[in-house]
Amino acid sequence: MRIALFTETYLPHINGVVTHVKALRDGLTAMGHTVLVVTADSKTRKHYIKNDVLYCPAYKASKRFYGFDLAMPVSRTRLRFLRDFHPDIIHVHNEFGIGLSGVGIAKLLRVPLVYTLHTMYDEYIYYVAPAPLVGMATRISHRYIRIFAKSANEVTGPSLKCQAYIQGETGVDKEVNVIPNPVELDAFSPDRVTEEDKRAFREKYGIRPEETIAVFVGRLGREKSADVLLDYWAQEIVPEDRLRLVIIGEGPELLNLQEQVKRLGIQETVVFTGRVEHEALPPYVASGDIYVTASLSDTNSISMLEGMAAGLPVLQRYDELNKDQIREGVNGFVFHNAKEMASELRRVRDMSERDLRVLKTSVRQSVRNSGAQNLANYVCDVYNRILGGGEALDSFPHVEKSFQHRLWKVRRRK
């Protein structure tokens, strides 16, 4: 198959969508498929292809809005590149300019469209709307995502949350193919991190050998609920517990979180590392003993999966729609409040070396099928169902009229 993957952001940027798309591309290529990644690039003024990536001119969004490169949704040049590529499938992974162009180009070329919902946008509305307008902006967001869900032949997502969002919030009555996110199993293997690496990590951040380390990794925005984690920590954890919280990452809430730590008086037990490049991340994760998160915005957190790949059991704040991700005592534990969080942290701290070793092996086993090849196999099942199902390629669902009209004007000029 010839597959075009549309994503607003791609390497060298690193985030969950980039990691997912890269793994999918690697897996599909290993299976013998031809893959073109279509992405935005604010550093170029013209479209060009390099190493099977089509870079599209874009402008840089504000850092507050994740610093994405945002491209215009309509481009005759982009359409020409895709027509020359002759895709069998177009697979959209973002909902901005590049994603919209994927929807439109699939319509114009009469190519089946797959849409992956990676993000629960209700948790991110505050980036673009002041508090009085959040309700209205949320309703607009639901109608906007509806365009993608209705236009796609198949919808995929990394957790059951995506199903609830598509059917409950956008009103599109489609089954979402739940395909868990991938993780770089080899890169985060604990076997690749030496005891010397772990000692160096503890020395760098002043963590004593006898202290148990709880790790959180992520972009520090409000949606990650790191403030909740700190509140819970302050309520129940004291220096005598021999527990340290290490928060890895940067973001718009970093300064507020650092101020919160001072206000709560927990500087002695909380460490901020700041930004850590992805390739340098494995020793940071593997030096921990448990991965902890209070976020309710994630669908299937890749940072959490990376922690599991390193053998860290996950301590996750209870999330009804993500409750299937954590199997109690197999790959981690859940908590509802500060007291439960502290209790589970102490449980891991007090485990014998043998019991902890058994648990970490179990955690690793729980993500053993989360590599690039398995992701590609799952997604190919979706592709093959479309192509093998005899769906008429000109019977695409509705695309927003104004957008469709602009695209048809482009085609007539061509």
Q: 2-182+371-413: what CATH class?
A: alpha beta
Residue 397 has pLDDT above 80, yes or no: no
CB 250: neighbour CB atoms within 10 A?
A: 15
Residue 34 tokens read as 């031809």
pLDDT tens-digit readout, 3-26: 999 999 999 888 889 999 999 999
Name 363's bridge partners.
none
User: What was the pLDDT predicted at 290?
Assistant: 97
pLDDT the model gives residue 320: 86
Q: What is the spatial distance between Cα 355 and Cα 339, in angstroms, rounded to a whole number? A: 23
Give the model's pLDDT for residue 355.
95
Taking only the tens place, the pLDDT of each residue in 312-321 is 999 999 998 7
Q: How many helices (H) and strands (E) does the chain have?
A: 14, 16
Q: What is the per-residue pLDDT for 60? A: 83
Q: How confident is the model at residue 334 (pLDDT cuts 50, 70, 90)?
A: very high
* Mean residue pLDDT across the chain: 89
Q: Around Cβ 232, how many Cβ atoms within 10 Å?
A: 22
- The whole-number pLDDT of residue 66 equals 57
Question: What's domain 190-366's architecture?
Answer: 3-Layer(aba) Sandwich (3.40)
Q: Pick the closest to residue 152 from 63, 199, 91, 96 (CA basis).
A: 91
Which residues in the chain are classed under CATH 3.40.50.2000? 2-182+371-413, 190-366
Residue 128's pLDDT is what? 66
- Cα 270 to Cα 24, 77, 80, 210, 368: the distances in Å are 36, 51, 53, 16, 31
Q: Which residues pair with 90 in a beta bridge?
A: 4, 113
Give the strand pairing for 69-70 and 59-60.
Answer: antiparallel
Strands (E), 42-109: 48-50, 53-57, 59-60, 69-70, 89-92
* 394 pLDDT tier (thresholds 50, 70, 90): very low
Side chain identity at residue 9, one-letter code: T
Q: How many residues does the chain have?
A: 414
pLDDT at 64: 54
Burial class (CB in 10 A: 0-12, 13-18, 19+), 27: buried
What gap in Å lies between CA 204 and CA 121, rounded to an integer?
Answer: 37
Pick from 83-87, 261-265, 390-394: least confident:
390-394
Phi (first) and psi of residue 337, to 5 degrees:
-155, 180
Adjacency order of strands within the sheet including 290-293: 270-274, 243-248, 212-217, 290-293, 314-317, 332-335
**In sequence order, what are the residues at sequence separation of 6 or more whose Cβ sits closer than 8 angstroms to the Cβ of residue 324?**
159, 160
Task: Output the DSSP codes for 267-325.
Answer: TTTEEEEE---GGGHHHHHHT-SEEEE--SS-SS-HHHHHHHHTTPPEEEE--GGGTTS
Angle at CA 39, nearest 5°, toward 402 and 2? Answer: 95
- What pLDDT score was predicted for residue 395? 33
CA dist 155 → 19, 38, 222, 345 (Å) = 19, 19, 27, 37
Burial class (CB in 10 A: 0-12, 13-18, 19+), 239: exposed
Q: Which pLDDT value is given to residue 390?
A: 41
In this prediction, residue 389 carries a pLDDT of 58
Helix (H) or strand (E) holding 338: helix 338-349
| Integer Rg of the chain from CA | 22
pLDDT band for 70, please (50, 70, 90 cuts).
confident
Residue type, 84: D
Interatomic CA distance for residues 256 and 168, integer angstroms:
33
Tokens of 322: 């993500």
Average pLDDT for 362-374 = 91
Q: Which residue has the higher pLDDT, 371 or 410?
A: 371
Helices marked H in 127-280: 134-151, 160-164, 195-204, 226-236, 254-264
pLDDT at position 388: 87
What confidence score (pLDDT) does residue 297 get?
87
Q: What is the mean pLDDT of residues 199-226?
A: 95
